[in-house]
Amino acid sequence: MTAAFASRVLTLFPEMFPGPLGLSVAGKALEAGLWSLEVVDIRDFARDKHRSVDDTPFGGGPGMVMRADILADAVDTVAARNGANDGGQPLIYFSPRGRMLDRSLVREVRDAGGATLICGRFEGVDERLLQARSIVEVSLGDFVLSGGEIAAYALLDAAVRLLPGVAGNEESLAEESFEQGLLEYPQYTRPRNWEGREVPAALLSGNHQEIRAWRLAEAERITRERRPDLWTRYMNRVEKAKVTS
């Protein structure tokens, strides 16, 4: 049986996978066949006995650049094996200058049934590869990592947990941060009193309407305080809904 969500990772460090993706809910789903992961060693496509995949940059400068010809061989081989990149699945290269990894992109990958992920190293990859293969650049944030593998973990984990049957409680997904345009409300469990701090009375009331109202108010407060950008988008959507209703 072919998994409905199938992804491929091109990396210089195949031993890093599945790594965290082999644990917890993602690992259980992988074992159950709800998704599949193919790990491709880029060095398998090298053309010399040293398995070199990089060279010095034209124009000078520090570091090394991953070669377009070798990476293209890896990308094309994987695409041919999977039917022209599985008919529309995105081809992603992780880069600080790329599109920010967010909920929208995660859902795009989930809905596409997977993706092919290129994990760069050194100073990056030859620009011509990105142009010639219509590769989407994706950034995990405004910082630099040693390679794309950690970003690949993040994208795949986020997408896999949205697959049916993976997270277990589907209702919990609907209430997570970002799903309604807000950060998630605070959570509490036993004991009711810890170091003099009490659980909010609304959560102990048994009144479901009161609990929902408290959670919404807290989600709005936290979003307003911590993410003004999200709060502005949320309020714009609320105002638009009032106008159209």
The region of weakest confidence among 67-71, 80-84, 195-199, 220-224 is: 80-84
User: Edge-to-edge strand order for the sheet containing 91-100?
Assistant: 35-41, 5-11, 116-118, 91-100, 136-139
What mean pLDDT do residues 122-142 have?
96
* Alpha helices, DSSP H, located in 89-207: 103-112, 127-132, 149-160, 170-174, 201-204
Q: What is the pLDDT of residues 135-149, one digit of tens each?
A: 999 999 999 999 999
Are 63 and 102 part of one and the same domain?
yes
CATH code where residue 88 lies? 3.40.1280.10
pLDDT, residue 88, reads 82
Strand partners for 94: 138
Decide if pLDDT at 61 tops 70.
Answer: yes
For residue 4, what pLDDT band results from cuts at 50, 70 and 90?
confident
**In which domain, by residue range, is 212 found?**
175-244
From 131, 160, 189, give the residue that closes a domain: 160
Could you identify the residue written with the tokens 């509490």?
188
pLDDT, residue 85, reads 52
pTM exceeds 0.85 for this model:
yes
Residue whose C-alpha is closest to residue 228's, from 182, 176, 187, 192:
182
